Structure 1
Amino acid sequence: MKNKLFICLLFLLSFQTYSQIIFEKGYFVDNNDKKTTCLIKNVDWSNNPTEIQYKLDEQDQPINISIAQIKAFGIDNHSKYERFTVDIDKSTQVISNMTYEKNPEFKKETSLLKVLLEGKASLFEYISGNTKRYFYKTDSLSINQLVYKSYKTSEVQIAQNNQYKQQLWMTLKCDNITTNDVEKLSYKKNSLIKFFKKYNDCNNSKYTVFETTEKRDLFNLNIRPGITTSAISISNSSMSTPDYDRDFDNKIGFRIGLEAEFILPINKNKWALIFEPTYVGGYKAEKSRLDSRTNEELKGSIEYNSIELPFGIRYYMFLKNNSSLFINGQVVMEHAVNSEAYVEYSTQRNTTLELKPTTSFTFGLGYKFKKKYSAEFRANFGKNVLDSNREWNSNYKSFALTFGYSIF
């Protein structure tokens, strides 16, 4: 089971290599200040990029260029990056790794910084893993990091160096900016953008804020009814004959779930975490067989209904007609309700088995239209529903066709 889970998760995480590549209109500026209009692969970088892919025409093969070859690049109406060699402090926010040093510990680094706001005073962002830093420059001031650093004052206490407030107060003076504006300023993107807007407005300076114009719904709640087809086989490892084994036939059932989808704000909203409490029911089957010794008919029956709690990850592949394909993998914890299996050993002996399912894994492939309607084919790779019975084993496999409607 662990091997199946690993293989399926590996397939899911590597699938984006083969998914649709979206190139958008943009440009780059090389080291000779030559500007080239082109199509750039927009992956909505979570970290500052060290290279980009571009092509001059839709039919061309992509070309990679590194940070050493470009001074800047941009994607129309979306984002802009500029290359700078800066002094940057990467002090950790992890308490156990903090030092007692209050002052920043600068190291020189060349990076493509993301332009958040461009004007008389411009604001830039640097992200690498858990490290997030902001830089600024003006018409008369070269680029500098806005300093914010956490440090220890004792083994159990920390303090913050908020030097960025003093930097902005000293260098971005304007009649409409008060000490209160600076004091309440947090070291966060939205707060800093708001401050830089105010400064540029105060100086009657035109400015551009580089933000995505698309609406990002980071949470969806979906009703998910569907139909299932399932089959169960059970066997007893302690018996010397197979007279007690049963292969119950495929049966059609139903499912109804409520899915919470949390869109991750990275890679153009292609990744999501999903949690879908679901009731699955309707499996009921009988299977008789002849005793190999007495030729008597031995009856067997099973009824299985469950509450599933699947948790997993989804990857979207956006299409051009306001629709998308998606794949997802989920770990499923499950609880059986109103379920049991009945098996006859002989005409005088029988047993009723408690059904207790193990954790399993499902894989799904689906289609979504207008972010509202969806259909998904889902497969469960098999689980043991007799986990509480040591002598008995089982294999439950199911496939489902699920339909979805987004409430919001």
Structure 2
Amino acid sequence: MKTFYYIFLFTFLSININSQITFEKGYIITNDGNKEEVLIKNQDWLNNPVEFIYKIGSEPSEKKGTIQNVKEFGVNGYNRLVSYKGDIDYSSNNIAALSIKKSPENVYKEIFLYEIIAGKVNLYSYTDKNITKFFYSTEGNREINPLIYKQYYFEGDVSKIATNEEYKNTLKSLFSDNPDVLNKIDRTRYTNEDLKKIFSLYNGVGINTNDKNRVKGQINLALRPGIAFSSFKFNSSSLGSNSTAKLPSKASFRFGVELEYLLPFNKNKWAVIFEPNYYSYKSEAKFFNDTYNGIIDYSVIELPIGIRHYMFLNNDSKIFINVQAVPFKIVGNKSLFTKEFVNINSKSEFSLDKTNQFYGTFGVGYSYRNYMIEFRASTSNNLLNSYELWNSNFSNIAIVFGYQIF
């Protein structure tokens, strides 16, 4: 098992180093106003970047773009990003930890903002960890200003939550020349979708937005049959010293159904996976100088949840790694470990542990279009956990195939 972990770690590090995100066509506008066509390493950032990497033409050398030398950049087909130097409200959004202040609790930042809507009035967004804030600028004045929204404890009373919706007053001022838009402002929430709608309505048809082209989250469903190779080792202080024994490893069919959610950032290279799967293990052997016969009959439905990281080789092929936790399992009612004397008609039966012991799995795999194959190994868990004098080590490795239905 340790060998597999080393292979797993080596594979992750070596492949991850060589599976860089590709450079894509884009542009930069320097702080002195020069626009240049370049190739940008498009990392489809989850949080707003403070810097980015680009190359000029066929030059092999990479350059770094920052607020200090670039005021705007964009990857073709994606939102452009504009530089911003100013305050951002970092007040907590956690209802249990709100501020007692109505006014924003600003932190000075130098950052690139995503431009969501462009027109007579432009809309920008900023995301960092658990906060999302919005900003605006106008055609006549390109200075970027915040749209203020904040929840707080009214007069310091934690039982009274009030909301500072100053952004609505700002929108009424910005859109004062359009009655149709004004009528919708009071119903406009401080969300990406609502603000996009009202800015789009005001700017009219033909607005310049690439927001629809950004990478979206995606749900996939796949069938995951395979072969599981299980092993079982046990010992008991009731059997004296040197009482460790191991039953032969056996292969069995396993079947699972995997639900995968590709996260909407970093070019869909990260995913959350949930894969209920079933397998069984039956084995027996004589041990302790053929004094005893050990028999195990084990069946289980595992309910693992975890994360997956993809490393793209080309448009059709990718390598992936999984790390999963198994917090829940359903053990078959007839799952038993039986210890019986070889020459005496006497035996002891032990119900295998049904408690939800926490253990994990690790996997490395290859995917080609809708097909995949994975080598997976689990950490050990004690199936005799309920018995004070007994201890066991159950683990398995598996070859798991897959076909993505959608």
Q: Does 1:317 align with 2:311?
A: yes
Residue 384 of structure 1 corresponds to 382
Give CA-to-partner distance per residue, 1:162-208, whole Å, 9 cap, x none: 1212211222234462432111111111211111111111xx6x431
1:121-270 superposed matches below 5 A? 121-141=121-141, 142-153=143-154, 154-175=157-178, 177-201=180-204, 206-213=206-213, 216-242=216-242, 245-270=244-269
Q: Which whole-Å CA distance do the structure 1 matches of 2:102 and 2:95 have between them?
A: 14
Stretches of structure 1 lacking an aligned partner (at least 5 in a row): none
Determine if contact 1:276/1:309 at 8 Å carries over to the other structure. Answer: yes
Q: Does 1:331 align with 2:329?
A: no
Residue 304 of structure 1 corresponds to 298
Letter in 2 for 1:125: S
Aligned structure 1 segments of 4 or more residues deviating by more than 6 angstroms? 8-15
Superposed CA RMSD in Å reads 3.0
TM-score (norm 2): 0.86
Q: Which whole-Å CA distance do the structure 2 matches of 1:33 and 1:286 have between them?
A: 77
- Tell me the CA shift for residue 14 of structure 1: 11
Residue 84 of structure 1 corresponds to 84
Determine if contact 1:251/1:284 at 8 Å carries over to the other structure. Answer: yes
Pair 21,57 (structure 1): closer, same or farther in 2 beyond 3 Å: farther
Stretches of structure 2 lacking an aligned partner (at least 5 in a row): none
Q: Which whole-Å CA distance do the structure 2 matches of 1:380 and 1:330 have between them?
A: 9
- Tell me the CA shift for residue 11 of structure 1: 9.6
Determine if contact 2:276/2:303 at 8 Å carries over to the other structure. Answer: yes
Letter in 1 for 2:45: W
Pair 208,271 (structure 1): closer, same or farther in 2 beyond 3 Å: same
- Tell me the CA shift for residue 241 of structure 1: 4.9
Determine if contact 1:98/1:152 at 8 Å carries over to the other structure. Answer: yes
SS of residue in 2 equivalent to 1:199: helix
Letter in 2 for 1:186: R
Determine if contact 2:113/2:125 at 8 Å carries over to the other structure. Answer: yes
- Tell me the CA shift for residue 275 of structure 1: 1.7
- Tell me the CA shift for residue 12 of structure 1: 7.0
SS of residue in 1 equivalent to 2:200: helix
- Tell me the CA shift for residue 13 of structure 1: 10
Pair 273,39 (structure 1): closer, same or farther in 2 beyond 3 Å: same
Q: Which whole-Å CA distance do the structure 1 matches of 2:189 and 2:310 have between them?
A: 34
Q: Which whole-Å CA distance do the structure 1 matches of 2:14 and 2:170 have between them?
A: 44
Q: Which whole-Å CA distance do the structure 1 matches of 2:168 and 2:233 have between them?
A: 68
Pair 58,355 (structure 1): closer, same or farther in 2 beyond 3 Å: farther
SS of residue in 1 equivalent to 2:180: coil
Q: Which whole-Å CA distance do the structure 2 matches of 1:335 and 1:175 have between them?
A: 61
Percent identity of the aligned residues? 37
Letter in 2 for 1:191: D
Determine if contact 2:263/2:271 at 8 Å carries over to the other structure. Answer: yes
Letter in 2 for 1:343: K
Letter in 2 for 1:362: T
Letter in 2 for 1:404: G
Residue 116 of structure 1 corresponds to 116
Residue 28 of structure 2 corresponds to 28
Pair 388,223 (structure 1): closer, same or farther in 2 beyond 3 Å: same
Number of aligned positions between the proteins? 395
Determine if contact 2:181/2:201 at 8 Å carries over to the other structure. Answer: no
- Tell me the CA shift for residue 97 of structure 1: 3.9
Q: Which whole-Å CA distance do the structure 1 matches of 2:130 and 2:318 have between them?
A: 30
Letter in 2 for 1:336: V
Residue 276 of structure 1 corresponds to 275
Q: Which whole-Å CA distance do the structure 2 matches of 1:265 and 1:229 have between them?
A: 35
